Amino acid sequence: MPKAIETIGNLVDTTISRGIEKYYEAPFLDGEPEEKVWYRVLLPAGLTGDGSEYYIYIKKGTTDKLCIFFSGGGVAWNEYTAARPTTGGAMAAGLPNYYWDNLRPITQLMNINIGITENDKTKNPFDDWNFIIITYATGDFHVGDNEFLYRDEEEIERTLNFHGLKNFYAAMDKGGEYFKNPGKLLIAGESAGAFAVPALSRYILRDYYSDCSDVTLLSDSGLLLYKDWKNTAKKVWKAPAELYNTLHSYNICADWYESLYAEFGNRLKYLYAGSPRDYLLSAYYNDVLTHTYKSTTSIQEQYFLRFKQMLKRLKKINPHFGFFIYKWMSLQMPFGGTEHTSVRHRSFYMHTSCGLSMAEWLEDAVNGNVYDANMDYLK
């Protein structure tokens, strides 16, 4: 990376770090957690993409309700994308940057104290819940188990630790020590974590919370079409055979929901949220199609059509799938596009055209009232 870009990136990282340290620093857990305090929990068995330390976040609530949340942070599906992790320099220069490969300070802003994870907000109906935040910095939708060799942009051989599955199990083993028998369970995720929800919920329900009868799933922004997902899951990430053998279309998220529904049926409540012209996912989609990491008005329209097709497929899998559509305009995109994810942003509380917020819609759903909201945004 050119020196000037690297310098800009370091300034971006430093600025972000200072802001987060002031407002979002979470202590490492030492002893028993206090109620409604966010903690980092270091997991020695965990590993991020670049080999640095891995930790999760937990919060002890005041009820027996538990949210297991899969964080987002991009994806790498081949050697080219593996060689281009997200950095301050790449973001500042507008260069392709596909995934976080370590838990930089910015992940604190991405993980806690905003949206569904925000403390002491009367408008957040999940404020009193217990939380396990499964952080993400492996580029594998949380399902990988491989040490992937690649050459970086300077042709230096490096290793990307697709360690998502091991991190997941380490997180659940540790989190399960604090939250043993939830009366209500929400398994949710945004962006890359949205794909993990249908992939890994089966293991949560089989291995950790098989007795919980009140379970809701939410994927926020999980649409990325690619013809070679099965090969990626099998040979690049080395995900479990059960997961890659279920892949048969361009839509990895829908494939995993299909196989999950085949096993659990209506025992679970299923939810999907998304933005019809998502500025970030449309850039990924453009990269898959044309090897151009950029969102444009044209590609946003193509993404919009694929978005509607996905919703139809999810309804075909389960007619009771509940949808929440939002279309906040992205301030980052001068040529249009809508925001990427909402569940852990301040827009979580913002009312849409039908007078409803995502927070209110999700609260209704976990309490048994599943419905669609803002379907007029698809016209």
CATH 3.40.50 fits 3-378, yes or no: yes
Q: What is the 3-state secondary structure (H, E, C) of the chain?
A: CCHHHHHHHHHHHHHHHHHHHHHCCCCECCCCCCECCEEEEECCCCCCCCCCCCEEEEEECCCCEEEEEECCCECCCCHHHHCCCCCHHHHHHCCCCCECCCCCCHHHHHHCCCHHHCCCCCCCCCCCCEEEEECCCCCCCCCCCEEEEEECCCCCEEEEEECHHHHHHHHHHHHHHHCCCCCEEEEEEECHHHHHHHHHHHHHHHHCCCCCCCEEEEEECCCCECCCHHHHHHHHCCCCHHHHCCCCCCEHHHHHHHHHHHHHHHHEEEEEEECCCEHHHHHHHHHHHHCCCCCCHHHHHHHHHHHHHHHHHHHHHCCCCEEEECCCECCCCCCCCECCCCCCCHHHHCCCCCCCCHHHHHHHHHCCCCCCECHHHHC
Look up the pTM and report it: 0.93
Residue 103: per-residue pLDDT:
92
pLDDT per position as a tens digit, 138-195: 999 999 999 999 999 999 999 999 999 999 999 999 999 999 999 999 999 999 999 9
Low-confidence ranges of the chain (pLDDT < 50): 1-23
pLDDT computed for residue 1 by the predictor:
47
What's the pLDDT score for residue 9? Answer: 43
Q: Where are the domains of the chain?
A: 3-378
Please give the pLDDT value at position 112.
84
- pLDDT tens-digit map of 296-308: 999 999 999 999 9
The pLDDT assigned to 110 comes to: 66
